[in-house]
Amino acid sequence: MEMATVRDEGESELLRTLIAYRWQELLGRFAEDPARIIATG
């Protein structure tokens, strides 16, 4: 239904809320490049 709304009206508040445009912020400390992580312990 939301996809139909986007097709007809061009915008959906629900889809805008669900899509993570800055997904790195969702991962917190796990967004760092694994090649740059220094193992400790």
pLDDT at 10 (0 to 100): 74
Residue 37 lies in a domain: no
Is residue 38, in this structure, part of any structural domain at all?
no
Among all chains, which residue has been given the structure tokens 């445009």?
21
pLDDT, residue 40, reads: 87
For residue 14, how many other CB atoms are within 10 A of its CB?
11
CA distance 3 to 11: 9
Per-residue model confidence as pLDDT tens digits over 1-41: 777 777 787 777 787 777 877 777 788 878 878 788 888 87
Q: How many domains does the chain have?
A: 1
Domain extent for 28: 2-32
